[in-house]
Structure 1
Amino acid sequence: MASVSLRLYDTSTRTVRDFEPLKPGRVGLYVCGATPQTAPHIGHLRSGVIYDLLVRWLARSGYEVTFARNVTDVDDKILAVAEATGVPWFAVAEANQRVFNRGYTTLGCLDPTIEPRATGHVPEMIVLMRRLIEKGHAYNVGDDVYFDVKSWAARYGRLSNQKLENMRSAGDTPNEDLKRDPRDFALWKGAKPGEPSWETPWGPGRPGWHLECSAMATKYLGATFDIHGGGVDLIFPHHENEIAQSQAAGDGFARYWMHNGLLTIDGEKMSKSIGNVVYLDDLLARVRPVEARYYLASAHYRSIIDFTPGALDEAAAAYQRIEGFVVRAAEALGDVKPSADLPAPFIEALDDDLGVPQALAVVHETVRAGNSALASGDTSAVREAASAVRAMTGVLGFDPQAWSSAAGEDDLRPVVEALVKVALDQRQAARARKDWAAADAIRDGLAEAGIVVEDTPQGPRFDIRRG
Structure 2
Amino acid sequence: MLYLYNTLTRQKERFEPIDPKNVRMYVCGMTVYDYCHLGHARVLVVFDMIARWLRQHGYPLTYVRNITDIDDKIIARANQNGETIQQLTERFIQAMNEDSQALGVLRPDIEPKATEHIAQMIQMIEKLIENGKAYPAENGDVYYAVREFDAYGQLSGKSLDDLRAGERVEVDGFKRDPLDFVLWKAAKPEEPSWASPWGNGRPGWHIECSAMGGELFGQTFDIHGGGADLQFPHHENEIAQSCGANGGLCGHNKPVSGSLKKIDSHVKYWLHNGFIRVDNEKMSKSLGNFFTIRDVLKKYQPEVVRFFILRAHYRSPLNYSDAHLDDAKNSLTRLYNTLNNVKPIEFKLDSNGNNNDYTHKFFNAMNDDFGTAEAVSVLFEIANEANKNDSAELSGCLKTLGGVLGLLQDNPEQFLQGGNNVDGLSADEINKLISQRKIARETKNWAESDRIRDILAEHKIQVKDSADGTTWTRG
TM tier relative to shorter chain: 0.7 to 0.9
**Which residue in 1 is equivalent to 2:452?**
442
The 1:370/1:403 distance shift into structure 2, 3 A limit, reads closer
Distance 1:403 1:158 in 2: 48
Distance 1:243 1:402 in 2: 45
**Which residue in 1 is equivalent to 2:141?**
144
1:282 pairs with one of 288, 295, 298: 295
The Cα offsets for residues 114-158 of structure 1, whole Å up to 9 and x where unpaired, read as 000001001111111111111100111142111011111x20000
**Partners of 2:135 and 2:142 within 8 A in 1:** yes
The Cα offsets for residues 309-328 of structure 1, whole Å up to 9 and x where unpaired, read as 01001101111111111111
**Partners of 1:42 and 1:279 within 8 A in 2:** yes
Distance 1:439 1:406 in 2: 26
Residue 246 of structure 1 pairs with residue 242 of structure 2: yes
The Cα offsets for residues 366-397 of structure 1, whole Å up to 9 and x where unpaired, read as 001111112xxxxxxx1221111011111010
How much has 1:336 moved relative to structure 2? Answer: 2.0
Residue 397 of structure 1 pairs with residue 406 of structure 2: yes
**Partners of 2:362 and 2:378 within 8 A in 1:** yes
Residue 292 of structure 1 pairs with residue 301 of structure 2: no
The 1:301/1:427 distance shift into structure 2, 3 A limit, reads farther
TM-score, normalised via structure 1 length: 0.87
Percent identity, aligned pairs only? 40
Query: Aligned AA for 1:453?
Result: V
**Which residue in 2 is equivalent to 1:452?**
462
The 1:389/1:427 distance shift into structure 2, 3 A limit, reads farther
Distance 2:28 2:4 in 1: 18
The 1:297/1:448 distance shift into structure 2, 3 A limit, reads farther
Query: Aligned AA for 1:360?
Result: V
Q: Output aligned runs, 1:73-152, within 5 Å.
A: 73-142=69-138, 143-152=140-149
Distance 1:312 1:49 in 2: 16
How much has 1:275 moved relative to structure 2? Answer: 3.4
How much has 1:460 moved relative to structure 2? Answer: 9.0
**Which residue in 2 is equivalent to 1:319?**
332
1:361 pairs with one of 377, 389, 397: 377
The total of aligned residue pairs comes to 442
The Cα offsets for residues 251-282 of structure 1, whole Å up to 9 and x where unpaired, read as 53211000001111111122445432211233
Distance 1:440 1:16 in 2: 60
**Partners of 2:99 and 2:294 within 8 A in 1:** no
**Partners of 1:28 and 1:67 within 8 A in 2:** yes
Query: Tell me, which stretches of 5 or more residues in structure 2 are unaligned?
Result: 251-265, 354-358, 420-427
Query: Aligned AA for 1:287?
Result: Y
The 1:441/1:318 distance shift into structure 2, 3 A limit, reads farther
Residue 11 of structure 1 pairs with residue 7 of structure 2: yes
Q: What SS class does the counterpart of residue 363 from structure 1 fall into?
A: helix
TM-score, normalised via structure 2 length: 0.85
Distance 1:62 1:200 in 2: 43
Bigger drift between 361-370 and 250-259 goes to 250-259
**Which residue in 2 is equivalent to 1:377?**
none
Distance 1:136 1:60 in 2: 44
Distance 1:404 1:52 in 2: 26
The 1:422/1:403 distance shift into structure 2, 3 A limit, reads closer
Q: What SS class does the counterpart of residue 69 from structure 2 fall into?
A: coil
Residue 258 of structure 1 pairs with residue 268 of structure 2: no
How much has 1:220 moved relative to structure 2? Answer: 1.2
Query: Aligned AA for 2:364?
Result: E
The Cα offsets for residues 324-379 of structure 1, whole Å up to 9 and x where unpaired, read as 1111122xxxx6224323410000000000000100000001001111112xxxxx
Distance 2:144 2:119 in 1: 18
Moved over 6 A (4+): 169-173, 402-410, 415-421, 427-430, 458-461
Residue 267 of structure 1 pairs with residue 263 of structure 2: no
Residue 350 of structure 1 pairs with residue 350 of structure 2: no
**Partners of 1:451 and 1:462 within 8 A in 2:** no
**Partners of 1:21 and 1:226 within 8 A in 2:** yes
**Partners of 1:370 and 1:385 within 8 A in 2:** yes
Residue 387 of structure 1 pairs with residue 396 of structure 2: yes
**Which residue in 1 is equivalent to 2:345?**
336
**Partners of 2:346 and 2:393 within 8 A in 1:** no
Distance 1:363 1:406 in 2: 17
Distance 1:39 1:401 in 2: 26
**Partners of 1:326 and 1:401 within 8 A in 2:** no
**Partners of 1:271 and 1:277 within 8 A in 2:** yes
Distance 2:50 2:375 in 1: 13
Distance 1:260 1:198 in 2: 34
The 1:448/1:417 distance shift into structure 2, 3 A limit, reads closer
1:309 pairs with one of 322, 343, 354: 322
The Cα offsets for residues 433-462 of structure 1, whole Å up to 9 and x where unpaired, read as 9x5x65554334445777422589x99974
**Which residue in 1 is equivalent to 2:153?**
157
Bigger drift between 246-255 and 388-397 goes to 246-255
